[in-house]
Every structure is written in C-alpha cells, then in structure tokens.
Structure 1
C-alpha cells in the first residue's frame, strides 16, 4: 500500500498533528527549551508557554486553568484517578483500611478496565462492572445508582465509546450522583474518560457536571500527551494523589520535568477545537452519513448492520461500526484485502487480537458473528467526500476478492472429493 494512496478511516485510533500544532511545537522547541522549574529567564519563558497551554486546555472544556494537570496521556490520567481513590479511601477515618468500591461500565477502554481488574485481584478495591443496555448500548442511570454501596468512592464512565461511538448519559448520571450525595454521608465522586469525545462534539465540564475528566491530545490532532481536569483542585474539593513523586512539578500532582513543547502543542490543539468544533462536527457527521449510505447500497446483497446506531442513543459524528452479515467476512480479513483503506476492527490497542470478536461489541449485545465481522471506520477532519466513495469501492472489492477465494476453495474441495 502506497502511503500517498491511503484513505485513513482510523481517526478513533489516532490523528496526525495539525499543521498549526506542529508550528507551535517547533516554536516551543526553539524558544522555550528551558526547565519550567528554573527561576532564570529561560525557565520563566518555558513556564509562560506551559501556562498559556493550561489556559487553552481549560477554555476548551469551560474549566478554570488551575483545574488542569498535564499528563503523559489518557492511560496516566485514568490511572491517576483510580490510584487516588484506592489510596484516599484507605486514609479516611483515621486509618480506616476498608476496601473501597468503584463502579464502572463493561465497555470501558483498557486503561480503565485493566487497572480496575488488577486492583480487584490485589484486594485494593471492589469493582462493579455495570452492563450497558443491549438496545441503547449505553449504561442506564438507574443501574449505576443501584450499584452504589456504603463504601463506594468513585464512579467512572466514559463519555463516548471508542468502538461504537455511543455517547453515554454523563450529564444525567452527574445529576443523579449529586442528588445521591446530598442525601448521603458518603460522597461519591464522578470521573469520565473523554478521550474519544473531545474534538468531535462540544465537551463542557460545566454541562456534564463531572468531578474529573480525561483529555487525550492525539485523538484531536494534538501531540501524544494528555491532561486531567479536576474540579476545584486548588481548593481541594476533589482529591488527587500523584502516582509517583519526585521534583514536585505540576504543583506536586505529576512529578517529572514538563514536556514544554508537547504541552504547548496540546494547548494549540485545544484552541483549534474550541474555535472550530461546530465546523468539525458537521463535516465529520456529513461524511459518516455518506459512508453509511453508500455502504448500505453497495453491500445490500450481503446484508450489513450498523452497530451502535439506534434511536435511543446519540453517537459520535465520525464513527461507523459496520458488520457484514452474510458470509465469512471477518472484519480483519476484509481490511487485509483492502488496497487503500486503513481502519480497525476495534480499539487500536487490540490490533494483535487476531480474529477474536470485540469484547465491547459483545458486551453491547451485538451477536457473536456480527462482532467478528465488524469494521470500525472513523472519519476525521481532513477526510473528503471523494475519499469516502473510493473507500466504499475498496471495501466492496475486498469483499468480492474474499468471496471469490472462498468459492474457489469450495470448488477445489468439491472436485477433490470426486478424485
């Protein structure tokens, strides 16, 4: 596959750094290379870049700059929150070492699911994985509330699923949790991983009402670092414990010399989103709808289903998860036979999972065969209408090629039986 001929439909996995972001990164590398913690003129200049990025990041989600902590990415942000509540609960009540309880969903990204499974095995936390509704593919608020126990300290639910694109009812959950906290002696905190949502839909922490929010730069044309929003962090309203300690950077919440250039790039990417989100969203939704319409026509004889598309839930405007119903059209095999399309069958971190069905799709109620045959096609800001039409042809050609090879194989075995 020639790089210039690639049709990139894997924006949920990662995105290229925007040209405007690259320029800011280059500028910071040239002019802000001092140590942010240094008290000299070079340190002050580097700190100026970092604090500008902090304001830009906060502005994107309607937060205050002091509520933003820069991290290496989504995994660190998510793990910092989980670590915080495993530790803080043990410290509560003058040495109370009772095991904390954390609630999440059964469709979370591995950076939430795997650490929680490990914490449960190690006895650091009890964890409840609330099942999503098999029709809406979203969690039900009532199910989450029903899972709360006296030792529940944290609820963590992603804002939008990275495979189906289904947007979870975070605002409704926040309101329900706030109502619970008003009548309970034990406060339950709420975190949402917004990695897949930011840059595709408008995200406001004031609207959502969450205590914590995870931000991941490379999902919205920024660098591969991240940030963590913590409500009223400067006054200690929401606890935050560092995973590791060191020189006290990021107000002692994230040790390690700041990656000034990448932080500056993240700020620039956030400013692009804040300024252009409506344009981005409309563009991606138009192309996603075109993709689904053309696939429906082109693969009508095979039968297709769109996983996550239902009348009960909203979806990200860029995400199409499609299964070819008839035949042995394993999603991975289809992509391997495409000449131009670059996409995924699920989360990028599962790319070596072979032909195994997506656990997220199965948890969402998608039948096993459909889950095995699924393609995750996610458009980006730079995707064009012409590329969409070419991608549909490429996918159809791949299906035809597979179909031919299967028929040849069947004919061979039939003839072989007559030898």
Structure 2
C-alpha cells in the first residue's frame, strides 16, 4: 500500500521537471559562476536567468534577489543584520508571537543584546491587525517583522496595509513568506515590503536553497562572511543547479495554476469537514474557516483525541500528516502558535493535527484519508 502524503507544509516532493533541470545542470554545467572563463560564464548565464525568473515572480528587480541556503538563513539575515546595523537609530522591534522559530530565536538572541522586542498576540483566526502594529510603533522602532501566512493554521496577515502604515516610518518591513510564496500573489512594490524570505522546498523545489528579497533602497550587511558573491550580500559559491531548479519550480506555478490550487485545496478542506460531520465526529477548525487563508494548511481540533496517538495510528495506516511545524517536531513543547491563539490551558493544544495539501493530492486520497480518520477517531473515543 502506498503512503498518502499530507504534510506539504513541512516540505514538498520535488517536481519531475525540477529534478530534470537540476540533474542536467549537475551533469553539464559545473563551472563557478564567479569565474571569468567559459565554464564560469555558462554558470553565470544560468544564474542570471534564474534570478530574473524569480525576481519577476514578486515584481522585484533582479538586483534585489539574494540567494541563500533557505528560509532560516533568510530570516536570520533580515532580522539580525537589520537590528545590528541600525541600532544607532533605535533598539525596538515588532514581531508576532506566532512566527516561525527562524524568527523567534533570532529575536530572543537580540533581546540578550539589549533590544526591546514587542510580540503581537493573534486573534482566534491566528491573525494580527494593522492597528496592533500602529499602536506598538515608537520612534525607536527599526524593524517590523510580520509573517505573511502562518505555517501551522494557514492564517494570513494584512501585509499591504502594514507596508503602507510604515511608509513614513524609519522601520524596515520584513515578512517571512516561506509558506505563502507560491500560494499567494506577492508584489513587493505594491505591498511596500523591504525584506522578504522564501524557501524552494515549499514549492516542489530543492532543499537548502532560498532567497532574501532586499529592496534596492536599503542596505544590510552580509550575514555570511567571506567572498563577494551575490554582489557582496551573501558570501559563498552559488549553488547553480539548485538555483536553476528553484527557478523551474517558480515557472511551474503560473497565476492560473496558483488560483486552481487555492480552489482545489479549499475544496479538500470542505470535503474533509463534510465526511467528519456525516459521521458525527466532533471537531473544530483552528484558524480561518473561509477561503481567505493559505488553503494548503488545515489545522483540526479533535476533542479527546491525543495528537501523538492519532499521528501514530495514521502513520501506521499509510497517511502522513503532522502535529505542527516540522522544525519543532522533536520537541515536547506544545505548539506556540496554538498557545498564542487559545491559551496554554486550552485542550486544543494537545488534540490538534495539521493536514497540508500539495499539487499531487487527489480527491480520492482525501476521501480515503477522511474515512480512515473517522475510523481511528471513533476507535479512540469509544
């Protein structure tokens, strides 16, 4: 029996077209993109073309795309280097309590250096508001880092409105778009975003490659010290095969495909809920219930059903889902996202699972999963 993969928020399988591009580049284009010889020029050509494809996807200039090892490095660079390079202007930063650990841990590090961090609390949809940001702003605020969409409950934040709010303020505006990139239509100019983080493995691209968008109007130091690659903004020889694969993954997600996926994923959510209701299974949706969400993420509260037991039972039945962020899966700590949304004493903390859809999931898989979920929940609650 084959596994049904429903953990796409953790990572996605590489698309065949992406694998083909990477394999071709690894076999035939081994040059160093910084070298001036023929082989270097060939690598540079692929690098430049890939950068253009990716820049166009968010309405950025080619010069504003800095390739990194992924979302964590991009987030760390945006937060730490902005703070350290601008501390003469103030030491106040605004973020949210439901950010990824790649943001929250750098914030804790900066607190140890004397920075003052304001953590905005979300509503029960998992969202923060423009007014919260406005009320938290001070003359000393140098950075506002608000995630585009949440990786555990699929909530979206009012990025454009926050960007507009900060137009006349000194604070740089960063958004972690690791989960949103490839799902949402992002326009960094229209949304007034200064810094934006992504990761290729969330959109059927390779692992260990991402980019940090840095608006040409601002400058922050390189986080990785060494050579002068990426116009002195990120040291280290560029991984041309992975970058080419990243660009191919971006090309595959056309605007039409993006819309189709959103609608299909929302339909998957509705289908699961219908089957649960038809079988008298008690449940609640954590986060947004309407289509205005990252629809590939679906967080379900199943009262009285221990998360760990349910995940194990589903795994034994060949269904891969998760209890939350894969980056903290080995931790015994409860989901900080659900704690922020509902409080540390809420039963939702221990009785919720995250289902996340991908481009290869089918209606048949969703029906089979839903029926197996019903069977296991009934077994565990009777």
**TM above 0.5:** yes
| SS of equivalent residue, structure 1 residue 292 | helix
Structure 1 pair 391–176 and aligned structure 2 pair: CA distance change class (3 A): same
Q: Within 5 Å, give how 1:75-86 maps onto structure 2.
A: 75-86=72-83
Q: Which residue of 1 aligns with 2:340?
A: 363
1:127-149 deviations in Å (ceiling 9; x for gaps): 11111123x42112111111112
What's the TM-score, normalizing by structure 2? 0.94
Contact 2:80 2:106 in 1 (8 A): no
Task: Give the Cα separation in 2 of the matches to 1:286 and 1:217.
Answer: 25
Q: Which residue of 2 aligns with 1:71?
A: 68
The farther-off stretch of 65-74 and 283-292 is: 283-292
Task: Give the Cα separation in 1 of the matches to 2:277 and 2:184.
Answer: 25
Task: Give the Cα separation in 1 of the matches to 2:120 and 2:23.
Answer: 45
Q: CA deviation at 1:52?
A: 0.9
2:319 is the counterpart of 1:335:
no
2:152 is the counterpart of 1:172:
no
Q: Which residue of 1 aligns with 2:118?
A: 128
Contact 1:346 1:375 in 2 (8 A): yes
| SS of equivalent residue, structure 1 residue 362 | helix
Q: Within 5 Å, give how 1:104-123 maps onto structure 2.
A: 104-123=95-114
Q: Which residue of 1 aligns with 2:10?
A: 13
For this pair of structures, how many residues does the alignment match?
Answer: 377
Q: Which residue of 1 aligns with 2:278?
A: 297
Q: Which residue of 2 aligns with 1:34?
A: 31
- Structure 2 unaligned segments of length 5 or more: list them: none
Task: Give the Cα separation in 1 of the matches to 2:92 and 2:42.
Answer: 44
Q: Within 5 Å, give how 1:81-230 maps onto structure 2.
A: 81-90=78-87, 96=88, 100-123=91-114, 125-134=115-124, 136-178=125-167, 180-181=168-169, 187-224=170-207, 225-230=209-214
Contact 1:83 1:241 in 2 (8 A): no
The list of structure 1 runs, each at least 4 consecutive aligned residues, that deviate by more than 4 angstroms after superposition, is none
Structure 1 pair 68–306 and aligned structure 2 pair: CA distance change class (3 A): same
- Structure 1 unaligned segments of length 5 or more: list them: 91-95, 182-186, 405-419
Q: CA deviation at 1:105?
A: 0.6
Q: CA deviation at 1:53?
A: 0.8
Q: CA deviation at 1:160?
A: 0.3
Task: Give the Cα separation in 2 of the matches to 1:109 and 1:82.
Answer: 13
Task: Pick one of 211, 226, 236 that aligns with 1:256.
Answer: 236
| SS of equivalent residue, structure 1 residue 207 | coil
Structure 1 pair 362–218 and aligned structure 2 pair: CA distance change class (3 A): same
| SS of equivalent residue, structure 1 residue 337 | helix
Contact 1:100 1:126 in 2 (8 A): yes
| SS of equivalent residue, structure 1 residue 306 | strand
Q: CA deviation at 1:177?
A: 1.4
Q: Which residue of 2 aligns with 1:323?
A: 301
Task: Pick one of 233, 245, 248 that aligns with 2:225.
Answer: 245
Task: Give the Cα separation in 1 of the matches to 2:349 and 2:292.
Answer: 20
Q: Which residue of 1 aligns with 2:286?
A: 307
Contact 2:21 2:248 in 1 (8 A): yes
Contact 2:95 2:144 in 1 (8 A): yes
Q: CA deviation at 1:99?
A: 5.4
Q: CA deviation at 1:310?
A: 4.4
| SS of equivalent residue, structure 1 residue 206 | coil
The farther-off stretch of 206-215 and 8-17 is: 206-215
Task: Give the Cα separation in 2 of the matches to 1:322 and 1:149.
Answer: 38
2:376 is the counterpart of 1:398:
yes
Contact 2:50 2:247 in 1 (8 A): yes
Contact 2:90 2:141 in 1 (8 A): no
Q: CA deviation at 1:244?
A: 2.4
Q: CA deviation at 1:23?
A: 0.9
